[in-house]
Chain A
C-alpha cells in the first residue's frame, strides 16, 4: 500500500475532472450545468471513499482534496458548492452520529437498577464470555397488548448480560407505543437477585433486539425466572452445556488484497440490490436499469484504477474481471472496468444469480419463526464476533450479532458492519447478508443483518461464513425452528474450541 501514490492519484483525477469541466463550460460567462459538477464530484467521492475504505488514504486528506476540488469548481462557476461537501462528509465520516436504535432505559419490575448481585462483575476481556442458546417463548398480556416473547439466546460479555429476543404482538396496541408492556416484567435469578430490564432494538413487523439485565448477573448464575404480565413464570436455564453437538469453526487465511476485499463487498451490494428488481435482467428495457444497481456499478473502473495505483489491488487480480462478469449478467454496462469478464465466478455469486434468474416462487414457504442459536467465532481481522440468534418474520430472516475488538481496547466496530457474511443453507443455496441496524455500548456493537434470500423452514443447518480482508471463518450451525404457535423451539449449538467456551 502506498499512501503517496493513493493521494497523488486522487489529486490528479481532480485535475482531469476540473479540466474536463472547464472545457465543457459555456463560453462568455454562461451558466454551468449543475449536473456536470455533481457528476464530477460524485466520481471523485467514489474514488476517495474506496481509497479510504482500504486505508490507502485517511479521511481527513480525502476531505481536504474533495473540499479543494469543490472550491475550484465553485470558484469557476461562481457557485457555492459547499453543499457537495456536506453530503460527502455525512456519508464518509465515521464520527458522524448514526445511532440507529431506540432504547428505553428501564423496563421491568423495578424502578431503577437493583442492588449489585453477589459475585457480580463483567468478564475482563472483550468478546463473548458465556453464550447460551435458549429457544423459549413467553406469553404476556398487559396494557391492551398481548404478545409472544421469543428468547433466542442469553449472553454475558464484557459489556454486560442480555437476552436476544424477537417478539410478535398478537393484538394491536397503541400505534407508536411501547411494544412490550413497560414495567410489568419481573426477572430474578437462582441466588435471589432481581433485575431491571432495558430494551434496545429495531421496531416494525419483525420486532427484535436485546433486553439488557441490570445489574450484571453473577458469573455463575444458573437460571433466571422471567415473569411476564398475565402469564406464568418462565424458567430460563443459562447453564453452559459443553456436551452439545456441533462443528468447530474453521479459520483460514484468504490472502486477499485490500482492494479485492472491497470489490467483493461491492459485488455483494450488487447482488443484494438486484433482489428488488425483476428477477430476469434480460426483461429490463434496454437502457433502463434500476437506479441502485447502476449507482453501485457506476465508476467501478475508476475504483479499480485507483486501487491499483495505490497498491491495494494487484494488476493481475481476477476480481475486477469477475465483477465485470457479474455486471454483465445483471445487464449493467457503463461500469468502466477494462478487465475482460471472467468465467470463474465464486459459488455464492452464482447461487444468488441463479436464484434471481429462476423466476419462480420460493420452493418452500418462508414462515415466521426463530432458531435458538449462539456461537462465538474466533477473532477475525481484529474483530470478535458472536452470533446470538436468528429469526424470520414477514419474509425476512435476520441474524443477530455482537462484535467487539478482542481486548476491548481497539476501535469499536461500526457503524458499518466490518465483515462480509454469507450463509450457505443445508440445501446448498447461498444467502448474502445486508446490514439492517447497528447499536453500541462502550465495549461492543450489536448488528442485525438480514439474509438475501430468506431462509426457509426446511433449512436443517447453516454454514456461516464470515470474512475479513485477511482471513475467513466458517462454522456449521444446526437449526431447529420454533415459531410463535410452537412451544418446542429447540436448542441449536455449535461446539466451540475450549478456549472460546464461556
Chain B
C-alpha cells in the first residue's frame, strides 16, 4: 500500500523500516521514496472495506491512516525532532497507555481564573440545557484531544527515521502553497496561515546547526522565510549580546536539506540540493555568512557522500561528508 507520493524532496534519503504491533504479532512498515509501504498488507483497500463493515482494522492499516491524516499537519513540525541529538523515544507501550487514558476535561466549574468573584452565598447554577450542551462539547473536545495524542505518539513510536521523513513531508506539502503567503493588507484580517509555523520550524532546526557551524548562541539566530528565485541569504551582524545570524531560507529547505540530514556538511551550511541522490549528491554549501554591510556570501557546489549513523544521533540518521 502506498500513501501520498511526494515530489522528490526525499531523493537524498534511503528507505527505512520499523516494526509495529499488528494483530497478535508485529509487522514491518517501510518508508520508501516518500511513501509508507505495508508489505504484510498487499490488499489494503480490501481491508479498509471490511473494517468499514465492522471488521477489525489491522494495526498497520490504522497506522497508515494516521500517517496520511497528518501528512500536511503543521503541528508535526512543532512536536517532531529538531535534530539527531533530539531523539524522541516513544514505545508502543506508551501508545497503548495513552489510548486507554481519558483526556483531562476542562473544568466547567466557575471562577477558574480571572478576577475574584466575590463571596458567593450559594453555588452558581446553570440552566440544565446549557449545562448539558457544555458537558457534551467538553466530552467531544476531550475525545478529540485523546485521539490526537494517540496519533502523535503512534507516529513518534515509529522512530527517528520516520519522524524526520514525516517532518519533510509536511514541510514539502506547505512549501509551495500560495495561500501560505500573507499580503500586508491581509495581516490583521486574514491571519498568517502556515508561514509562522514554517519560520519557527526552520528556526528550531537551524539554530543548533548554526551553533555547530559558527559557535553562535542558538537564541541569536533569526530566521525568515525566503520566497522567489535564489537560495536565500545569511548575514552575521553585531557583536557580543547583540550578535545575530540572520538567515532567510525557503520552506522547502526543511524537506530537501534538513530532513535528509544534509544541513551541515564539511563545515558548510547546506542551503540547497543541486543534484539529489543517495548516497552521493551535489549540494550548495555556504562556508561563512556575509558580514554586516559586506557583499552577500554565495554558496558553492559540494559533492557529498552519506553513511548511516550521525555522530551522537540514532543509527538511522544520515551523516554526510564532503
Contact = CB atoms under 8 A, between A and B. Distances in A.
Nearest to A448: B118
Contact of A7 (B105, B145, B196): B196
Nearest to B87: A76
B294 interface: no
B273 interface: no
Q: Which of B82, B108, B114, B190 is packed against the most chain A CB atoms within 10 Å? A: B114
Contacts of A67: 75
Nearest to B105: A86
A8 B187 CA distance: 12
A19 B107 contact: no
A120 B94 CA distance: 65
A203 interface: yes
Contact of B79 (A68, A80, A415): A68
B106 interface: yes
Contacts of A96: 106, 108, 112
Interface in A64-82: 64-65, 67-69, 71-72, 75-76, 78, 80, 82
Nearest to B119: A204
Given A8-B199, A12-B199, A102-B120, A19 B204 contact: yes
A82 B103 contact: yes
A211 to B, nearest CB: 15
Contact of A3 (B104, B106, B122, B187): B187
Nearest to A434: B115
A101 B117 CA distance: 8
Contact of B204 (A15, A58, A65, A99): A15
A7 B153 CA distance: 26
A68 B75 contact: yes
A179 B122 CA distance: 11
A90 B107 contact: yes
Interface in A336-367: none
A31 to B, nearest CB: 14
A179 B152 CA distance: 54
B196 A86 contact: no
A15 B203 contact: yes
Contacts of B190: 3
A3 B188 contact: yes
Interface string A397-439: 0000000000000000001110000000000000000111110
Contact of A72 (B78, B118, B125): B78
Interface residues of B, number: 58
B177 interface: no
**Chain B facing A: main interface SS:** loop
B86 interface: yes
A1 interface: yes
Contact of A2 (B115, B123, B187, B199): B187
Contact of B113 (A1, A91, A101): A91
A300 B122 CA distance: 37
Contacts of B52: none
A80 B118 contact: no
B120 A100 contact: yes
Interface in B122-155: 122-126, 134, 145, 149, 152-153
Given A15-B204, A202-B120, A416-B115, A90 B106 contact: yes
B191 A61 contact: yes
Given A3-B188, A415-B114, A89 B119 contact: no
Interface string B144-172: 01000100110010000000000000000
Contacts of B219: 16, 19
B110 A82 contact: no
A11 interface: yes
A438 B203 CA distance: 43
Contacts of B79: 68, 71-72, 75
12 contacts: A11-B78, A19-B208, A68-B75, A75-B90, A82-B103, A86-B107, A92-B113, A99-B124, A99-B126, A102-B122, A204-B118, A434-B115
Given A98-B110, A202-B118, A417-B115, 6 more contacts: A14-B78, A86-B107, A93-B106, A102-B124, A202-B119, A436-B116
Interface of A: 1-4, 7-8, 10-12, 14-16, 18-19, 22, 29, 58, 61, 64-65, 67-69, 71-72, 75-76, 78, 80, 82-83, 85-86, 89-93, 96-103, 176, 179, 202-205, 415-417, 434-438, 448
